Amino acid sequence: MVLLHVVDLDPELAALRPLGGFFLLRVAAEPPRPLPTLAHTYENLSSDVYGNSLTFRVRKVNRALRAPEERIGASVAQQGLAARLWSAALGCAVLYGALPDLDPRLLRWDPDGSAPDDLWLTEVGALPADAATLAAVVLDGHLEPLSAALRAHHRVAPGLLRGNAASALAGAARQLEQWAHTHGRPGTAARARALTAELFTHPLLADTGIRTGTPAGTAFRRSSCCLYYRVPGGGVCGDCCFTRPPRSSPRAPSG
């Protein structure tokens, strides 16, 4: 058996702060106000919007976007949370050489917060920073149960949600790599590229799009669409499968 050395994490995860709001993890045993855990969010399949924090979030996002369909709010809400989880996990893996235990029971979330999503980690425990652990923590621990919870109440395709997860990962890696280059840390940039490339070989991500540029690069064009083009005044995202917003088709490819 191979034993992995796990570096101790800063108890406040302060190294994430310079990277910006998508990477930030607040750490507190008790957040300043009562918030649901993400475990409760994924498991609570009540159709009552007031008792279901995920449905509450989807409808909040839909209202803010003035979106014509609730599945658009579901897609955007899921991608926003995916971006937060990938950013925090990848940022810690690259900067600390260790991954915090992001068990859904340890993460509290404010469904009524603004973007980026407000996340509180109630205790900091270190895990190995390899791609397999990252995938287990973020994909298996969060994005798969999040996807299942969304599909239980919203007409959103699994391929679209997997595309969102891939897009969020590529975006987090790209931002981390840019930060590293700006601050003269080529080793950090290389580590981000390598981890991201390995993560994209995971079965849930491998067929979600095409990575371009260097073999371990972070440029990405997805094979599905997040539906943002259907928002009033919205267009296509930088990694969308479309080059311009469709005009006639009421549905986007879901992957």
* pLDDT winner (highest mean) among 5-19, 43-57, 169-183, 202-216: 169-183
Instruction: Provide the pLDDT for residue 252.
Output: 46
Closest CA to 239 of 193, 179, 172: 172
Instruction: Provide the pLDDT for residue 46.
Output: 62
% of the chain beyond a pLDDT of 90: 69
CA dihedral 213, 219, 222, 228 (to 10 degrees): -150
Burial class (CB in 10 A: 0-12, 13-18, 19+), 44: middle
Q: Which of 95-104, 146-155, 224-233 comes out lowest in average pLDDT?
A: 224-233
